[in-house]
């Protein structure tokens, strides 16, 4: 369809009280609408994209959510960093950090999987399901730098001129370690999302209940749940769990 005609049809539908969603966006649309509403409510001006891979979440925010603020993507695989930086030249509000985040500053061995979206500091676990045997198989191991959010965030926000932060975690079983390295930073984060596993696909991957308790102890409250297993229906492997800072919520009432 000609873009101008498509846009006109979308505007007409919107004016009539309808939302037109392309078929390929239907799976994510509830989460898209949720984030649009949440970002507006909390005046989010900076998103920390932890576990960026090739920048898919940045593309989702820009193309579907319509977020135009600052995005800082953290990614330890050098080739992926190079790829994102080449694209970031066309997006002045997108910054790429070549590191992983964790509980302590140092280096660690990253398992690079056949499908790099599964890359993790943890070893793959295939006993729960055989669906990911090929894609979640170790192809290489590389040493990567690890930083903590507490050591990076203050200077980063000052440099960016940002104030209202949203944290996205997608580290393939390492989210809790990122949280542990962000104890001083979490009070300044207005909301976040973490990837919660129903069927663990990594050895030693913390249960969702453990991450929930850790974040609740930091003052965060449940806000939204969205399945994250497109293509594997009707099974649920993981979901995006959204939480809001309790202080930020109370300030709105």
Distance (Å, rounded) from C-alpha 204 to C-alpha 200? 9
- How confident is the model over 46-78, as pLDDT tens digits? 999 999 999 999 999 999 999 999 999 999 999
Place of tokens 């009432």: 253
pTM of the model: 0.92
Whether the Cβ atoms of residue 157 and residue 165 lie closer than 8 Å to each other:
yes
Distance (Å, rounded) from C-alpha 186 to C-alpha 50? 14
Whether the Cβ atoms of residue 168 and residue 57 lie closer than 8 Å to each other:
yes
179 confidence band (pLDDT: 50, 70, 90): very high
Residue-level pLDDT at 7: 62
| The 189-197 sheet, strands edge to edge | 94-97, 70-74, 46-50, 165-169, 189-197, 238-245, 220-227
Return the minimum-mean-pLDDT range out of 12-16, 29-33, 102-106, 147-151: 12-16
Q: Is the dihedral of CA 159, 162, 165, 168 positive or negative?
A: negative
What is the rounded average pLDDT for all residues in the chain?
A: 91
Mean pLDDT, range 139-145, rounded to an integer: 97
Q: Does the pLDDT value for residue 20 go beyond 90?
A: no
Residue-level pLDDT at 14: 63
Residue-level pLDDT at 42: 98
Domain range summary for the chain, segments of one domain joined by +: 25-105+148-252
17 confidence band (pLDDT: 50, 70, 90): confident
Place of tokens 């319509």: 66
199 confidence band (pLDDT: 50, 70, 90): confident
- SS3 string, the chain, reads CCHHHHHHHHHHHHHCCCCCCCHHHCCCHHHHHHHHHHHHHHCCCEEEEECCCCCHHHHHHHHHHCCCCEEEEECCCHHHHHHHHHHHCCCCCEEEECCEECCCCEEEEEEEECCHHHCECCCECCCCCCCCCCCCCEEEEEEEEEECHHHHHHHHHHHHCCCCEEEEECCCCCHHHHHHCCCCCHHHEEEEEEEEECCCCECCCCCHHHHHHHHHCCCEEEEEEEECCCCCCCCCCEEEEEEEEHHHHHHHC
- How confident is the model over 21-43, as pLDDT tens digits? 776 677 888 999 999 999 999 99
Return the minimum-mean-pLDDT range out of 3-12, 136-145, 186-195, 215-224: 3-12
Whether the Cβ atoms of residue 153 and residue 185 lie closer than 8 Å to each other:
yes
Smallest CA-to-CA distance from 121 within 205, 49, 187 is with 205
Q: In this structure, are strands 46-50 and 165-169 parallel, antiparallel, or unpaired?
A: parallel
- How confident is the model over 201-251, as pLDDT tens digits? 889 999 889 999 999 999 999 999 998 876 677 777 889 999 999 999 999
Q: Write the class of the CATH domain 25-105+148-252.
A: alpha beta
Smallest CA-to-CA distance from 50 within 158, 204, 168, 136 is with 168
Distance (Å, rounded) from C-alpha 42 to C-alpha 156? 20
């Amino acid at each position: 369809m000609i873009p101008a005609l498509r846009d006109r049809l979308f505007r007409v539908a919107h004016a009539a009280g309808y939302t037109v969603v392309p078929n390929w966006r239907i799976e994510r649309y509830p989460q898209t609408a949720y984030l649009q509403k949440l970002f507006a409510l909390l005046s989010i001006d900076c998103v920390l994209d932890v576990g960026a891979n090739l920048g898919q979440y940045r593309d989702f925010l820009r193309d579907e959510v319509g977020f135009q603020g600052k995005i800082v993507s953290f990614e330890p695989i050098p080739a992926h960093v190079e790829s994102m930086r080449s694209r970031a030249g066309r997006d002045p509000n997108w910054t790429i950090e070549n590191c992983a985040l964790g509980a302590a500053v140092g280096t660690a061995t990253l398992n690079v999987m056949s499908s790099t979206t599964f890359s993790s500091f943890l070893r793959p676990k295939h006993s729960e399901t055989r669906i990911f045997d090929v894609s979640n198989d170790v192809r290489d191991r590389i040493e990567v730098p690890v930083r903590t959010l507490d050591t990076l965030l203050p200077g980063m926000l000052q440099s960016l001129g940002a104030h209202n932060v949203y944290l996205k975690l997608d580290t393939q079983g390492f989210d809790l370690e990122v949280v542990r390295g962000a104890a001083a930073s979490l009070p300044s984060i207005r909301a976040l999302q973490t990837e919660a596993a129903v069927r663990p696909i990594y050895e030693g991957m913390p249960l969702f209940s453990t991450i929930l308790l850790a974040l609740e102890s930091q003052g965060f409250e449940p806000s939204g749940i969205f399945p994250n297993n497109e293509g594997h229906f009707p099974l649920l492997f993981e979901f995006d769990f959204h939480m809001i800072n309790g202080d930020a919520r109370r300030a709105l009432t």
